[in-house]
């Protein structure tokens, strides 16, 4: 099956210099694209001068991750997409296990490889690790990473397993699935739009899978690091977006509980003397209220909303029960 590796770029020449060589070297059985979000640096000149086989797609604006890929993928014909962050180093055999899984398992629509930390290659990386799940209140966590506890890679996750969501850092999806789901929700801009898409896929009985025999190394935070209040804003707001659109049950009760838990998170930021992050949570809530009507409209468009993949509270298990590793859950 033909596969397209599509790297979204915005003023990322330095990242392309570091990471594009490994992608080109180890993706001989794929077509490599760079989708450029209206960069103002000389990223595209660098690509043309050094990687003539890489195809360039020019987006008209910087619409973030969601719109950037929605716009770019309209120009990609391959039946399999790999949406790859520009700060990812790939390995020699990274594509074959993924392609083979798509071939032998036609019911599998979305795949994530093992994602390790580029800066600490013996450990998993925060954004995805060994595949993602969602708890009863809509909090995401991973095999290999729960909140800020990150596991060392001791080959405990070299398996293939069904998961709830795949990381947008290295996100494989069938083109026909992407089209059937109408791509990413552009109101997210960035962060958690892949969880929203996987949640919509789950509600429609598509299978999302982790394939641990494929490995990549992700820097994480190269575009927006965890210390940036904008990231806090996007994570808290977009999490509320996700559960409003996709979660089953009594939405009023769920949202109320989440707002209380978000308040506790803001209190932790207060103790840590991080007032800008408290302000980011407040802004996230106001933005959520402003979008609530459109979110409820999207919710009503679902033909089916299934129960959760996991039914526990990861907040309770992690902070009260001190279960910090996936194997202990």
User: Torsions phi, psi of 197, nearest 5?
Assistant: -65, -45
pLDDT at position 223 is: 61
Residues 36 and 154 in one domain: yes
Sign for the pseudo-dihedral over CA of 274, 275, 280, 285: positive
> Using CA atoms, how far apart are residues 206 and 199, in angstroms rounded to an integer?
10
Distance from C-alpha of 54 to C-alpha of 144, rounded to nearest angstrom:
33
**223 domain-assigned:** no
For residue 111, CA distances in Å to 128, 132, 300 come to: 11, 11, 28
Q: d(Cα 146, Cα 161) in Å, to the nearest integer?
A: 18
Is 253 a member of any domain? Answer: yes
> Which CATH number does the domain housing residue 106 bear?
3.90.550.10
Question: Would you say residue 201 lies in a domain?
Answer: yes
The answer on 130 and 28 residing in a single domain is yes
Q: What is the pLDDT of residue 43?
A: 97
Q: What is the pLDDT along the chain (329 residues), one digit of tens a residue?
A: 999 999 999 999 999 999 999 999 999 999 999 999 999 999 999 999 999 999 999 999 999 999 999 999 999 999 999 999 999 999 999 999 999 999 999 999 999 999 999 999 999 999 999 999 999 999 999 999 999 999 999 999 999 999 999 999 999 999 999 999 999 999 999 899 999 999 999 999 999 999 999 999 999 875 666 679 999 999 999 999 999 999 998 999 999 999 999 999 999 999 999 999 999 999 999 999 999 999 999 999 988 898 877 889 999 999 999 999 999 99
Question: With the CA atoms of 207, 194, 258 and 229 taken in that order, what torsion angle do they form, in degrees rounded to the nearest 10?
Answer: 160
Are 69 and 158 part of one and the same domain? yes
Q: What is the pLDDT of residue 21?
A: 98
Number of domains in the chain: 2
- pTM of the entire structure? 0.95
Domain co-membership, 307 together with 236: yes
Q: Specify whether 124 is located in the same domain as 165.
A: yes
* Structural domain span for residue 9: 3-218
The answer to whether residues 111 and 209 touch, using CB atoms and an 8 Å cutoff, is: yes
The verdict on 209 and 241 lying in the same domain is no
pLDDT at 311: 84
Is residue 150 domain-resident? yes
Contact call for residues 81 and 4 (beta carbons, < 8 A): yes
What pLDDT is recorded for position 190?
A: 87
């Amino acid at each position: 099956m033909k596969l397209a590796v599509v790297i979204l770029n915005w003023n990322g020449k330095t990242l392309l210099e570091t990471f594009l060589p490994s992608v080109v070297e180890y993706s001989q059985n794929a077509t490599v694209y760079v989708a450029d979000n209206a960069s103002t640096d000389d990223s595209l000149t660098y690509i043309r001068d050094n990687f003539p086989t890489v195809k360039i797609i020019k987006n008209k604006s910087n619409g973030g991750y969601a719109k950037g890929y929605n716009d770019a993928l309209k120009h990609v014909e391959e039946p399999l997409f790999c949406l790859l962050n520009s700060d990812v180093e790939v390995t020699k055999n990274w594509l074959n296990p993924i392609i083979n899984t798509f071939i032998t398992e036609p019911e599998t629509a979305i795949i994530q490889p093992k994602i390790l930390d580029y800066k600490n290659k013996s450990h998993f990386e925060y954004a995805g690790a060994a595949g993602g799940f969602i708890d009863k209140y809509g909090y995401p966590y991973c095999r290999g990473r729960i909140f800020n506890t990150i596991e060392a890679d001791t080959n405990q996750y070299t398996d293939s397993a069904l998961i709830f969501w795949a990381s947008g850092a290295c996100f494989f999806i069938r083109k026909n699935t992407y089209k059937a789901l109408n791509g990413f929700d552009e109101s997210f801009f960035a962060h958690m739009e892949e969880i929203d898409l996987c949640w919509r896929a789950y509600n429609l009985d598509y299978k999302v899978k982790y394939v641990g025999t494929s490995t990549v190394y992700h820097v994480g935070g190269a575009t927006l690091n965890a210390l940036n209040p904008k990231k806090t804003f996007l994570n808290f707001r977009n999490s509320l977006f996700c559960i409003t659109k996709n979660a089953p049950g009594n939405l009023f009760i769920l949202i109320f509980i989440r707002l209380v838990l978000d308040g506790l998170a803001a209190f932790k930021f207060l103790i840590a003397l991080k007032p800008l992050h408290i302000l980011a949570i407040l802004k996230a809530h106001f933005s959520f209220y402003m979008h609530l009507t459109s979110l409820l409209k999207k919710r009503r468009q679902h033909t089916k909303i299934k129960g959760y993949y996991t039914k526990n509270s990861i907040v309770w298990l992690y902070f009260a029960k001190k279960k910090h590793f996936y194997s202990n859950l």
